Amino acid sequence: MIIECSVEKNAQNKQLNVIVEDSFPLAAYYNDMEHFAARQIPWHFHDEMEMIYVKDGELDVYAGQTCIHLCPGDGLFINGGVLHQVIQTSKDTCIAFSFVISKNLFGAEGSVYDKRYITPLITNHNLPYMVLGKETASCIESAYMACHEESFGYEIIAREQLMKVCLTILKEANISTLSYSKSRYPEDERIKQMMNYLKTHYDEPITLKDLAHHVNISEREVQRCFKRNIKETPMQILMKYRLMKACELLGTTTFNVTDIAAQCGFMDASYFAKIFKRMFHMTALAYRKMMQGKEPM
């Protein structure tokens, strides 16, 4: 099954629509960037590893403080727990396929596959991401198409293709030298705590003072922390969260636009309408109509 993605996250800023079941521990996503505010997937993280394949257009993927530019046919591995965001850089259509993968796809917990290969990989915080070669990236596309077509044995085909990707990563990362480190990036956990607060209270008025109090630092240090690590202000992040939630409600409910604006922290419906149109180049009602009429590839 393919999920048309409009990323929603929980109170810990973890992606919510990751459907990773024990019976088939991976989720396949169709990401049409025009469905996201400003054609960006906001900062988020999840415990599972992620693999991305760019089908059309170009993307910048930010993993912590690093920007990775991807073109059609490119692939990227993002390790579990890594804060990342995705930004469309091409002018026209941009489509990416992605998988969020539980380590159990490659072997049961405690198995030789788990202990010798997968756990050392996903617990290594010195390997936040890896750019994949074209041949390896094509395996992600093959896995995606298998999930899309759902022909007999597609689960086996998808698992086989993603295992090929994982084996390449293990070889290139030199698995025998991987070691655990406490933090991937400076202030990584503090950033996550503040983003957690923004996500938890997005429907309420939030000030820098609130964030500073939450992590016991000064307001100036809050601003510095965001600037050093993710190059955006807390209020910019908050706006993206609110718009992201509005998009989710527009696509999945029949609430009127004024009610959706209020539920997403916009106390002024006219301001919401202005910001929404600026970000999406269409009205909220037009966005709802578009989402109701689109089917994932």
- Taking each helix axis from N to C end, the angle separating 188-200 and 234-252, rounded to the nearest 10 degrees, works out to 50
- pLDDT value at 124 more than 70: yes
Residues 196, 166 share a domain? no
pLDDT tens digit sequence for 2-44? 565 544 443 344 343 444 455 788 999 999 998 888 889 988 8
Residues 235 and 260 in one domain: yes
Into how many domains does the chain fold?
Answer: 2
pLDDT tens, position by position, 231-277: 889 999 999 889 989 998 998 899 999 999 999 999 999 999 999 99
- Let me know if 272 is exposed, middle or buried by CB neighbors in 10 A (0-12, 13-18, 19+): buried
**What's the chain's average pLDDT?**
87
The answer to the question of residue 19 being in a domain is yes
Are 165 and 219 part of one and the same domain? no
Query: Residue 36 is part of a domain; what is its CATH number?
Result: 2.60.120.280
Tell me what pLDDT residue 19 has. Answer: 46
What pLDDT is attached to residue 176?
55
The residue among 177, 206, 228 that closes a domain is 177
pLDDT in tens, 173-232: 875 554 444 454 557 788 888 988 998 899 999 999 999 999 999 999 999 998 888 888
* pLDDT score at 35: 85
